[in-house]
Structure 1
Amino acid sequence: MSKRKYDTGYLKYGFVQIEHRGEVVSQCLVCMKTLSNSAMKPSLLKRHLETNHPTKKDQDLSYFQRLGEKAKQQRIDKTGAVYQSSSGNVKASFEVSLLVAQNMNAHTIAESLIMPAAKILIRNVIGVEAEAKLSSVSLSNNTVKRRIEEMSIDIADQVVAAVRSSKYGFAIQLVNRITVKSDLQATTKGVDIFNVLNDFFKRNELEWGKLVGCTTDGAPAMLGRKSGFQAHVKAVSPNVIFVHCFIHRFALCAKVLPPNLLACLYRVVKMVNAVKTSALNTRLFKLLCEDLGSQHTCLLYYTEVRWLFRSNAT
């Protein structure tokens, strides 16, 4: 029987080629399972991906290319399986990095606190031999940073893939103008905001025709009928429905609160401003919070212009 040859197009199904006992076989980049040479068919590779990894079937080619680069950096034995010890160490590194990210701690905490604490626990509960195994788990500042970035990219890829494969279209929300402006180089006109979003659509192969709704704030650059962001979006996708930010409705409701609730709100605002308008009061307030063991030690300054902080202050 003639041997099948690997085609680079198989990468879109999540498979790369490896050599096993002198024979070229395909290896899944998701589960690291190897298939025989006879299974090196597009239909069989696709079925493996859809059956065993349904959440990955809509991933784009760049996702599997990144997995392929990671696989090259890992130790692969002749059977194509990652060594269990190496796999466990990498998994532990990712899970600890996830905890660091979820708790919004500095990346150095993994190496300076979590690892020493884990070694103390293992040494006293299990033994010195088990403690030595922890040394192979990488939790350096750079490693934790890289793990968090990789997880962020993976989440973004999954979201984009889900949006791209949606049968009913998708909606976007552009409310935080600070986030939008962070990607702009100079001006923040409607056309500049549109160009940033348009580049994102092209880079991720998203279609403007599938955009069904868009929520924006009340800035002129967003809602301008002639040169605003809304006008540029309508030019490429006329059926898009624009909705005003729902937080503005909350702000309007806050202005007509019942007298007893409104008095309480103003009292809180007055106390917050009393702390924030004085540098001395701010420092004293911080010391008070630290003495009480509070996780947060500062207040958000409230003004009528920055009305959004009213809800945060209360």
Structure 2
Amino acid sequence: MDKLKPFFEAKERELKRAKLDSTGSFHIQAQAITEASYALSYRIARDKKPPTIGETLVKPCLLECTKIILGDTTAQKIADLSLSDSTVKSRIDDMSEEIKRETIEEEFLFCSPLTETTTAADVMNLVSNFFSKEHLDWAN
């Protein structure tokens, strides 16, 4: 999830702009609920489960356990957690797009044309020059 940290930071900035009251309590709660929704959506995608599992299994289990352990007031906060099929799909799409964007940026940072030939030695020289230029250690 470290690669998605910038993505979540951007989402946090969006939520800050949507703050409704001067105390920030709505903002903090909404931010936590959205972050939890993304975290659960990530796990659903990672475990290759259908997006519907969020609404049909995960959320009901969370609500029941929270109500038993922490009470009705806290369970109401969990009830605000959006794990509908469309929300989970949207969250997964958001995270996928962010990963694609980061991957493309990383790949283009390394792209360099092979000017003359494409022998193994040419490719090795290109990689070696890149490592030297970026001060990267081959041991890592």
Q: Is the 8 A contact 2:19 2:27 kept in 1?
A: yes
Note the C-alpha offset of 1:129: 1.2
Equivalent position SS for 1:83: helix
Q: Counterpart in 2 of 1:121?
A: 65
TM-score (norm 1): 0.31
Note the C-alpha offset of 1:160: 1.3
- 1:180-226: per-residue Cα shift (whole Å, max 9, x none)? xxxxxxxxxxxxxxxxxxxxxxxxxxxxxx256xxxxxxxxxxxxxx
Note the C-alpha offset of 1:76: 3.2
Q: Counterpart in 2 of 1:164?
A: 108
Q: Counterpart in 2 of 1:137?
A: 81
One-letter identity of the residue aligned with 1:75:
A
Q: Counterpart in 1 of 2:18?
A: 75
Structure 1 residues 174-185: aligned runs within 5 Å: none
Higher strand share: 1
Larger radius of gyration between Structure 1 and Structure 2: 1
TM-score (norm 2): 0.66
Distance 1:144 1:98 in 2: 9
2:50 pairs with 1:102: no
Higher helix share: 2
Q: Is the 8 A contact 1:107 1:144 kept in 2?
A: yes
Unpaired segments ≥5 residues, structure 1: 1-27, 33-70, 170-209, 213-236, 243-314
Q: Is the 8 A contact 1:100 1:106 kept in 2?
A: yes
Q: Is the 8 A contact 1:93 1:137 kept in 2?
A: yes
- Percent identical across equivalent pairs? 20
RCO higher in 1 or 2 (8 Å CA, sep ≥ 6)? 2
Count of residues paired in the alignment: 109
Distance 1:143 1:241 in 2: 49
Note the C-alpha offset of 1:119: 0.8
Structure 1 residues 162-241: aligned runs within 5 Å: 162-166=106-110, 169=111, 210=112, 239-240=117-118
Q: Is the 8 A contact 1:75 1:86 kept in 2?
A: no
Distance 2:105 2:78 in 1: 36
Structure 1 residues 110 and 30, CA gap change in structure 2 (3 angstroms)? closer
Structure 1 residues 85 and 103, CA gap change in structure 2 (3 angstroms)? same
Distance 2:31 2:56 in 1: 23
Unpaired segments ≥5 residues, structure 2: 1-8, 121-140
- 1:246-299: per-residue Cα shift (whole Å, max 9, x none)? xxxxxxxxxxxxxxxxxxxxxxxxxxxxxxxxxxxxxxxxxxxxxxxxxxxxxx
Q: Is the 8 A contact 1:90 1:137 kept in 2?
A: yes
